[in-house]
Each structure stands twice: as C-alpha cells, then as structure tokens.
Structure 1
Amino acid sequence: MKKLLFVLLLAVTGFSACKKDSSSDNYDATAQAAADDAKIQAYLKTNNLTATKDPSGVYYQVVTAGTGAYPTSTSTVNVNYKGTLLNGTVFDSGSLTNQSLSGLIAGWQYGIPHINTGGRIILYIPSTLGYKNQAQGSIPANSVLIFTIDLLGFK
C-alpha cells in the first residue's frame, strides 16, 4: 500500500510540474502595449509633463541634450541612472560602465540614442519594452518603467 501511495504521489508531482503558467498563456502583448500607453499618457497629463513618443512606443523627455554624436543601439555606454515605477517607487539606481546598449532592455535601446554625451533623458518605458509580464525583483510584472539617465559617454 505504501508503495502504491508513493508511486501515485510521484505521478501527481510529475504532472503538476508540467503544468503551464496560465499567466504566460494569456499574455497579449498588443493589449498590454495599449494599456501601458494609456497609463503613460495619464501619468504625463496628471504631472503636467510633455514627452515625445518614439515609433517603438517609448516616450522620452530630453532634459539636457548634450553635445556631439548620438549613440546607436550597438554602442557601449557609460551612464548614471535612476529607475522608478509610475507610483514613484525607486527600484534601482546606479552607474553602468562600458555596457553594451544591445544587452539592455529594449526601452533603453530605443531611448538613449535620443541624447548626446553629457545629456540627460527621462524614458517612460511600456512594459512590453521592459520586463514584459515577468516580475524582476521589486518590479511587478507588466510595469511601466521610468528611467532618468545621464549619458556620460559612449563608444
């Protein structure tokens, strides 16, 4: 009898481990992008801010333009940054040195090329160009991200 229960327990455990994550199955990137866009527009309006929408869906506000050439999505960048959620919660801040822009979230790849060395930009990144429907540490799934980025230099 114990042997039968053990085998049954193994079978149930095996089948439950194979269960798909229903949140991934129901994820609709197009619908999420539309919801995020509405959240960003509401945030900008509520806070009386003006930002430009990039064709990718990232909104950006150039605070300081900087000088010289513009980085590309394949540039290696040196930046200081602060990341917050729409509710003002700071989830990260720091510096990146010699970081390949192509290795960062898509929102940075689309946004940073809008400033030059010495420039400061604020990016309003829809979740579809951030961490999508995956939570990352203190960042909930489907979160719009706001980054203030100082571009110190690039190669």
Structure 2
Amino acid sequence: ALDDEAWQAELDLNLMSAVRLDRLLIPHMIAQGSGVVIHTSSIQRRLPLPESTTGYAAAKAALSVYSKALSKELGPKGIRVNAVAPGWIYTDAAEALVERIATSAGIDETAARQRILDALGGIPIGRPAQPEEVAELIAFLASDRAAAIHGVEYTIDGGTVPCA
C-alpha cells in the first residue's frame, strides 16, 4: 500500500531523526563521560496495525534495534540508552483520528474509539494512556534513580501487547 516515498518518509521521521540527533549530542556526552539517551519507539514494532501504518511499524522496529545496538556501544562510555514503546496514547493527534473515523464511518466518537480499541485487540486497563503518564516514565528513566537501567525498552500500553 505504500510507495517508496512513503516508506522513506517513515524511515526519515521515525528512525533517521533519532540517528541524526544522536550524532549531534552523543559526542558531547562521551566528552563528559555521562549521559542518557531515550528513544521513543512504539508497540507497533511488535504489534503492527494493518494498511498504511506498516512503514511506521517497520521504522519503529528499526529504532528499537538501533537503540539496543547503541546501548552496547555507549554503556562502557558512561552513557545509558533506553527506549520507551507507547501504545495508544490519547494525544491531540489521537483525538483527531477518533474524529476522522467517526466522520468517515458516520458513527459517534464513542463508537470510533471502540473501533480503535478493537483494532488493538483491546486495552486491559480499558483506556489509552495519557501523555503525562508516558512523560513520567521518560523522566524516571532520565533520572539518577534509574542509574542501573540500561539497554532496555519499556512498553507503556495499558497491557495491550501480551507478555510472554
């Protein structure tokens, strides 16, 4: 469903933007002997939705692998690297998606939200996360309280992705 231009746009936005930013910031972290890198991946790397989000999911999967590889390289230099993989987060963009689905399907917003929940296979806590909840996780991972956490990806999705 995606042409080469769409694939490249997803890779540039969801992978290469992190790579390019890291290239700028990490040398300074290496020089000071410490730092924290936190990438924002997505549960779609493990639970891709169909159709036009395939490029996004693939780019986020690549970002997760890149994060792990970077953690191996930078850990010995005093730089922690982690990733956060949000599920459905109720942002302004998510609300706009709900409105688009409702309008295009001729249903109300409650039914549109349910369609999204159904596409995800449900969210055990019964709701999408709020942006502030994701921000709290990222703030913790960036803090000294997480000084021994390195090379991992945390999923924050209300239980959407089944655990092994």
Shared fold (TM-score, shorter chain, > 0.5): no
Structure-2-length-normalised TM-score: 0.24
Structure-1-length-normalised TM-score: 0.24
Larger strand fraction of residues: 1
Larger helix fraction of residues: 2
